[in-house]
């Protein structure tokens, strides 16, 4: 999948596509880190074409080396997190996480750090943020400055929590193909600004590798009795608790499923917990929702 590009083709290290109203956000001002808009894409000397091709080949070789080194010797449960770490090494970002798409909420598979994991959990708990928007649209969503419009207006709670954690920009890349989005790769940066064209190509490549890796990971019985733990099945089982909890809350409050899920999420956010943690307590009868 490719991000929606409102400006068509561009050159070299020009910033990536400026998001349009369909799902991607712009930036308040040209960032100080040099990733913002250039004065003119045609200014400055251009390398001879053979040299540019050689540079691209070296770049692709380094990307392949970093990814290969990152996943070498990793078991199935480690691969998503290892690829997130590789993304951080290859791109000017401070963290990365990967989540599978689900009808209720995203299922986090791995992250490069505890901070990235918390931001992924936060979006799942809120049901809002660049991650959920990218999964719903099946297209890349870029929040290039969470401290001002339009990102702050679109995701006010997530933006406040993310900036409090030191993150100013989020780039969410869809995983899958042009017909199906199976999840997202979410990149977190401490400085505001857009990705350059080259950085965007790297992010897209990592997302493609992540998609292939997720499709190849064993599920449940595929591991066999001597194989790795059925970790994807375990994640699905844990996530099923959300559906069970929603059903129990529907009965307890006499509300529909959407309202029950909203109450679950609101309670989790208000108490600084993830929605999965609260759902676990509901299913284990440690938490009951009472009518007002």
Most confident of 13-17, 76-80, 130-134, 211-215: 130-134
Note the pLDDT of residue 11.
38
Rounded to the nearest 10 degrees, how much is the dihedral formed by the CA atoms of 233, 234, 240, 242? -140
Convert the pLDDT of each residue in 23-51 to its tens digit.
454 444 434 333 444 344 445 556 567 76
CA–CA separation, 120 and 233 (whole Å): 20
pLDDT at 15 over 70: no
Convert the pLDDT of each residue in 67-77 to its tens digit.
888 788 877 77
CA–CA separation, 175 and 199 (whole Å): 17
- Note the pTM of the prediction, 2 decimals: 0.70
Our CA angle for 98, 269, 156, nearest 5°, is 75
Most confident of 19-23, 102-106, 150-154, 218-222: 150-154
């Amino acid at each position: 999948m490719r991000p929606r590009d409102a400006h068509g083709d561009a050159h070299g290290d020009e910033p990536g596509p400026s998001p349009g109203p369909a799902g991607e956000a712009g930036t308040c001002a040209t960032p100080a880190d040099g990733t913002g808009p250039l004065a003119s894409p045609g200014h400055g000397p251009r390398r001879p074409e053979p040299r540019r091709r050689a540079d691209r080949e070296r770049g692709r070789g380094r990307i392949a080396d970093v990814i290969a080194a990152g996943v070498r010797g990793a078991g199935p449960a480690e691969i998503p997190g290892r690829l997130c770490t590789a993304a951080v090494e290859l791109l000017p970002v401070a963290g990365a996480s990967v989540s599978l798409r689900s009808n209720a909420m995203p299922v986090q598979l791995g992250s490069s750090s505890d901070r990235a994991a918390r931001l992924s959990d936060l979006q799942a708990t809120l049901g809002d943020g660049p991650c959920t928007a990218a999964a719903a649209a099946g297209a890349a969503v870029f929040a290039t400055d969470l401290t001002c419009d339009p990102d702050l207006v679109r995701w006010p709670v997530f933006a406040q929590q993310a900036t409090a954690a030191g993150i100013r920009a989020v780039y969410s890349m869809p995983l899958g193909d042009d017909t199906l989005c199976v999840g997202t790769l979410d990149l977190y940066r401490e400085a505001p600004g857009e990705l350059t064209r080259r950085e965007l190509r790297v992010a897209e490549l990592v997302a493609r590798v992540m998609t292939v890796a997720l499709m190849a990971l064993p599920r449940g019985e595929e591991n066999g009795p001597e194989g790795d733990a059925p970790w994807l099945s375990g994640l699905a089982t844990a996530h099923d608790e959300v559906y069970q909890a929603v059903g129990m809350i529907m009965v307890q409050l006499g509300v529909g499923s959407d309202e029950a899920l909203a109450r679950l999420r609101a309670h989790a956010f208000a108490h600084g917990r993830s929605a999965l943690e609260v759902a676990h307590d509901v299913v284990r009868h440690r938490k009951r929702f009472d009518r007002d």
